[in-house]
Structure 1
Amino acid sequence: MSLVARTSPDDARLLDVLRDWLPTRRWFPAKGQSAQLSAVASFVLAPDVTVLLVRARAGSIDAVLQVPVVLTDGPAEGAIGTLDGRSVVDGSDRPEFLAAWLAAAEGPGADVDVSAARAISGEQSNTSVILPGARPGILKVLRAVAHGENPDVDVPRHLVGVGWKHVPAPLAWLQGEWPGPDGRPGTGYLGVLAAFVDAAEDGFELACAYAGRGESFASLAADLGAVTATMHDALVAAYGTDAGDQGPEEVARAVATRFSWALSAVPALAPFADDVAAVVDEVRALPAAPPRQRVHGDLHLGQVLRSHDTWYVMDFEGEPLAPLDQRTRPDLALRDVAGLLRSIDYAAAVGGLSGDRAADWTADARAGLLAGYGGGDQTLLRALELDKTLYEVVYESRNRPTWLPIPMAGLERLTRP
């Protein structure tokens, strides 16, 4: 069942209440920019529960944001403002919104206590809320919504359907219909409730702790590599492979393009030009590349959980602001492996290791991961990791300059082994 958004004069009035609050949210896509905000439409889930869809435009950003709100009588803690004398509060973790959401959703369902809900702090792209109960779950409220299938809902459903056990099973999901920029209606996902993984440790935090103690992460990395391999097998079983002719030349061209882009942003990369060109030539000389398939697309240690001696893979959404066709495009499975390898470098640094100690710890963990995964073409894997590292160099130079040495060290290793 899909909810149908309606337009109302109250939409613009509600947006006026939210206008100054929205840019302060971590999930707001145009931080530091002057964004043009407009009300698209709204879903009324209950008499005092509304989900407002807001279009945010700034430069190249053009996103539709989902903003659940609850209206209450009298003053309310954390109120954003008032509308017709009633307090307007963020509804994402409010029992009124959660009860209405569950009533409208479809799926096998869960046995949860909405009065004990707790939002997870620190998320940047969406809002997740833990719902305790006899069959607990975690609700992900998608902040940037788009028409079409959302991979964070669609992929876990397919993986569970083929019997893969390392993804939290979707328990409920909610779709809605709203007008697109051209005025024509389309349908997309608003959120998903998945089974809660208890006693879970964040994979990146776990790896950082191991690095901080100087303890080998190789065994856990090998287990994660093996789970990643079974994930790729399950994705092939669920979606098949791409029959298109996309060989080594495409990978080589992508790495060369990435380096040109990175060099324009970070001129200090100039001394690596010949080494990167050599890697590109090695890839171009490969006789073939594996077929493209559905992949995770943004796999790193922060996307996995360790619970009861088992790894679980999360967050198949990809980059929420990227077009849907980019997030669901078949790719090389080794790209996921490259993401995990880069994450190991970051865990060593954040865990406090440097110099030879960092090199030894990461080499040990990397070897474990690759052994568990079962290998793969090393030339191709090196190129994909190099592509990811070049992106990191630009990102860190712009956002976290003190972290720039992490990808730069990786660049040294990848181009001058």
Structure 2
Amino acid sequence: MTLIVTPPDDLDVALLDAVRDWLPGRRWFPAKGTQAELALVGGLALADDVRVLLVRAKAGSIDAVLQVPLVLAPATGEHDGGHAGATTSPTDVVGHVGGRAVVDGAAHPAFVAAWLAAADGPGAPVDPSTARAVSGEQSNTSVILRAAPDAPAPAAILKVLRAVAAGENPDVDVPRHLVDVGSADVPAPLAWLQARWPGASGEPVEGYLGAMSAFVPQAQDGFELACDVARRGEPFGDLARELGAVVAGVHADLVRAFGTDAATAPQDGPEQVAAAVANRFAWAVSAVPQLTRFAPGVEAVVAQVRALDVAPPRQRVHGDLHLGQVLRSGSRWFVTDFEGEPLAPLAARTRPDLALRDVAGMLRSLDYAAAVAGLTGDAAQSWTDAARAALLDGYAGAAVAQPVDGDADGRAVLLRALELDKTLYEAVYESRNRPTWLPIPLAGLERLAG
């Protein structure tokens, strides 16, 4: 069922006014550090006391439609008799309208119950009163749900998309397709909610508001796990080898689910990669002038790529794969978060690409894990070299990786170029956001283009 977002009414206007000062402080708000223009796209009534606002935030090049679920709750400290276990505390309240408290609804039992009632999919026996938001997220809001308050383990996780876009959201669409072709390496989708709202030109568009998937029990974040292993001075090789095989399996399942891109001529592949790396370097140098010293090395890599005759066919990929996008549960790895960059255009997030780009992201993540764990010098080099070799061995050994005309050397050239492209992006990101982390990508550039 596709819900219809209605034109904003007086309540919607009052709600936006109530949360206008609160919104810019959210981690998922896209226009930080600048004055954003906020305008109502429309509202959606999921229940009498549950309202979802779609708010367009514009600032400079940023133009995003944000989902803001809100619950009109009783006054602070009063029990909400309609929703088991729900009370309103001062820390929950983000504003007031008509004498009632306005609460961020993403993890409120009233919102969760209304969301589940409206969603499509096989569903799951979860109890909305157990809703608990995951802390630390930057792009969306994920809510953990149990089957009952005393259930021994969570049953599902609901992801409320904060930046919504027209079309098939890959974080919902891709797992659904993977499960359909028999993949067991992704958490199974359980429910999803779609809506129709006015687009930028007034035309109706449709997109996803959120999705619920099976909770992976006793799971550990892949990046945190790698950091812990490195911090203890233990090898990550066996885990990396298993992870490489799982990534290869997911890539094979993506081909089964979506096919490969037949529109791009094989001979265009290497030139596209070479041009992309050259353009990335020009952009990176303009932002971080100290990268100029890597120009000869970058030019050598670009030349090597241009000398290739062919590249593997492009296919659907994860698009933002790193250790933080995988979970370890028991003796298994799971791949999650297929959304890509939430603020990137949907076409860019679903465009076929080289599967090796995902592998390059994993290799870069290993460098970060070693650095964050405090490894330096020879210890860092030894740990990352072994982990990188094991991950690549696991990926190739799964017998589903696509070679470049059977040429392992050509595949290695492409992988190096894609890792270089990722590292240049990291250098700009760290220089702007975490200057103390800039040495991590700089060390990578020394290896790749020094």
TM-score using structure 2 length: 0.91
Q: Deviations over 1:159-196 (max 9, x none)?
A: 00000001000000000011011111111000000000
For residues 239 and 311 of structure 2, the distance between their equivalents in structure 1, rounded to whole angstroms, comes to: 29
**Which residue number corresponds to residue 131 of structure 1?**
145
Q: Which amino acid in 1 is paired with 2:319?
A: G
1:73 CA drift (Å): 2.1
Verify the 8 A CA contact 1:18 1:81 in the aligned structure 2. yes
> What is the CA distance between 1:44 and its match in structure 2?
0.1
- 2:104 corresponds to which of 90, 108, 117: 90
In the other structure, the counterpart of 1:395 is: 429
Deviates more, 1:333-342 or 1:126-135: 126-135
Specify the code of the residue in structure 2 equivalent to 1:41: G
The equivalent of 2:18 in structure 1 is 17
How many angstroms apart in 1 are the aligned matches of 2:95 and 2:439? Answer: 44
Q: 2:305, 2:75 → 1: CA distance?
A: 65
Query: 1:117 Cα shift?
Result: 1.2
AA at the equivalent of 1:3: L
For structure 2, the 5+ residue unaligned runs are 77-87, 404-410
| 8 Å CA contact retained: 2:296, 2:449 | no
Q: What residue is the counterpart of 2:310 in the other structure?
A: 288
Alignment of 1:114 onto 2:125: no
Confirm or deny: 8 A CA contact 1:208 1:351 kept in the other structure.
Answer: yes
Task: Extract unaligned runs of 5+ from structure 1.
Answer: none
The alpha-carbon deviation at position 145 of structure 1 amounts to: 0.3
- 1:255 aligns to what? 277
- Distance in 1 (CA, whole Å) between partners of 2:103 and 2:131 is 15
Q: Secondary structure at the match of 1:131?
A: strand
Alignment of 1:164-183 (within 5 A): 164-183=183-202
Aligned twin of 1:42: 43
CA contact (8 A) 2:185 2:335 kept: yes
* Deviating 4+ runs (over 4 angstroms): none
1:103 counterpart (98, 117, 120)? 117
> Does 2:206 match 1:184?
no
Q: Which residue of 1 aligns with 2:34?
A: 33
SS at match of 2:129: helix
Inter-partner Cα distance in structure 1 for 2:221 and 2:337: 13
For 1:275-307, what per-residue CA distance to the aligned partner results, in whole angstroms no more than 9, with x for missing partners?
110100000001110000000000000000000
Question: Partner of 2:342: helix, strand, or coil?
Answer: coil
C-alpha separation in 1, matches of 2:323 and 2:146: 25
Find the counterpart in structure 1 of residue 213 from structure 2: 194
Counterpart of 1:155? 174
Aligned partner of residue 346 in structure 1, secondary structure: helix
Which residue, 387, 395, 405 being the options, matches 1:365?
Answer: 387
Q: What is the CA distance between 1:415 and its match in structure 2?
A: 1.5
Deviation at 1:42, TM superposition (A): 0.7
- Structure 1 counterpart of 2:187, one-letter code: P
Conservation of the 8 A alpha-carbon contact between 2:261 and 2:352: yes
State the distance in 1 between where 2:34 and 2:113 align.
35
Matched, 1:265 2:284: no
Check whether the contact 1:12–1:38 (CA below 8 A) recurs between aligned residues. Answer: no
1:407 aligns to 2:441 (yes or no): yes
Pick one of 225, 234, 240 that aligns with 1:221: 240
Aligned position for 2:84: none
Q: Does 1:315 align with 2:337?
A: yes
- Determine whether 1:378 maps to 2:392: no
* Residue aligning to 1:5: 5
Is the CA contact (8 Å cut-off) linking 2:297 and 2:448 kept in structure 1?
Answer: no
Give the Cα separation in 2 of the matches to 1:157 and 1:350.
Answer: 34
TM-score, structure 1 normalization: 0.99
Measured against aligned partners, the alpha-carbon deviations of 1:2-39 in whole angstroms (never above 9, x if no partner) come to 11011212222110001000001000000111000011
Counterpart Cα distance in 1 of 2:20 and 2:382: 50
8 Å contact kept, 1:241–1:292 = yes
Q: Which amino acid aligns with 1:322?
A: A
CA distance in 2: counterparts of 1:212 and 1:233, whole angstroms: 33
CA RMSD of aligned residues (A): 0.9
In the TM superposition, residue 212 of structure 1 has moved relative to its aligned partner by 0.3
1:148 aligned counterpart, secondary structure: coil
CA distance in 2, matches of 1:65, 1:210: 38
**What residue is the counterpart of 2:229 in the other structure?**
210
Shift of 1:136: 1.0
Q: Distance in 2 between matches of 1:9 and 1:86?
A: 15
Rounded Cα–Cα distance in structure 2 between residues aligned with 1:308 and 1:219 = 14
